[in-house]
Amino acid sequence: MLSSPFVQRVKLALSFKGLSYEYVEENLQNKSHVLLSSNPVHKKVPVLIHNGKCICESMIIVQYLDEVFAGAGPSLLPADPYERAMARFWAAYIDDKLLSSWMMAFRGKNDEEKEEGRKLSAAVAENLEGALRDCAKGKPFFGGDNVGFVDIALGGFTAWVHAVEKIYGIKKFDAAKTPLLAAWVERFGALDAATAVLPDVDVLVEVGKRRQAESDAAAAAAAQGN
């Protein structure tokens, strides 16, 4: 699905590894038999089908690609066990906290919930700023000189960072508060391997506006029902 940041992660990993693949778009309102049979537990995208075997969940797919195609492109996970554990920790943190805080901030049930979402979003950004400082050690990426596992995890959201700014006028990674992250977003998005696969921001803006309108309509209908 074009707008899915989780799908973008897999496309980014494939691009940085220099791997060719067939991309099959799914309509999640009318899920195909292929999707339902290849991911019967979650019934979500992305799914990677390799040699007839199905791998689900974006960061599990990224790890799989890094291991199976170890000789292709850069290694995404560090060789050092501690650094590898830290990369997995921060990727899991992004999964657990980033999108949920954004959704609460923009689509909370009331003003109080939205305000709580904004506070959580700010805290997540601050923690990721610290993670980038610690992991990069003055180098350009979470992975150091080269894009790594955490870069891919966060990279799937970079197009949405720009789309959110266009829709709401909000910088999710503000240079005044999180300068390292703000610079990282621009640096990562300018890489050839990223620009080759990341979706057009204006397309995401239209998707975001449509979803916001649907959310507002549902909230209004619920209010009238009460």
What CATH number does residue 45 fall under?
A: 3.40.30.10
Distance (Å) of CA 43 to CA 11, 15, 28, 34, 38: 19, 25, 9, 10, 8
Number of domains making up the chain: 2
pLDDT digits (tens, 9 = 90+) for 13-47: 999 999 999 999 999 999 999 999 999 999 999 99
Instruction: Check residue 226 and give its pLDDT.
Output: 61
Q: Flag whether the pTM goes above 0.75.
A: yes
pLDDT digits (tens, 9 = 90+) for 129-154: 999 999 999 999 999 999 999 999 99
Q: Is 54 left (phi over 0), alpha (psi -120 to 50) or beta?
A: beta
State the Cα–Cα distance between residues 36 and 41, nearest whole angstrom. 8
pLDDT mean for each 10 residues of the chain (226 residues): 96 97 95 96 97 97 97 94 96 95 88 93 96 95 96 97 93 94 97 97 94 81 73
Q: What is the CATH number of the domain that holds 121?
A: 1.20.1050.10
Co-location of 56 and 89 in the same domain: no
Co-location of 91 and 178 in the same domain: yes
Co-location of 50 and 98 in the same domain: no
Q: Which domain holds residue 37?
A: 5-68
Instruction: Check residue 216 and give its pLDDT.
Output: 79
Instruction: Check residue 81 and give its pLDDT.
Output: 97
Whether residue 154 is contained in a domain is answered as yes
Query: How many other CB atoms are there within 10 angstroms of residue 2's CB atom?
Result: 15
Whether residue 100 is contained in a domain is answered as yes
Whether residue 211 is contained in a domain is answered as no
State the Cα–Cα distance between residues 128 and 224, nearest whole angstrom. 40
**DSSP assignment string, 91-130:** HHHIIIIIHHHHHHHHH-SSHHHHHHHHHHHHHHHHHHHH
State the Cα–Cα distance between residues 125 and 104, nearest whole angstrom. 15
Find tokens 């999640």 and name the residue: 28
CB 154 within 8 A of CB 107: no
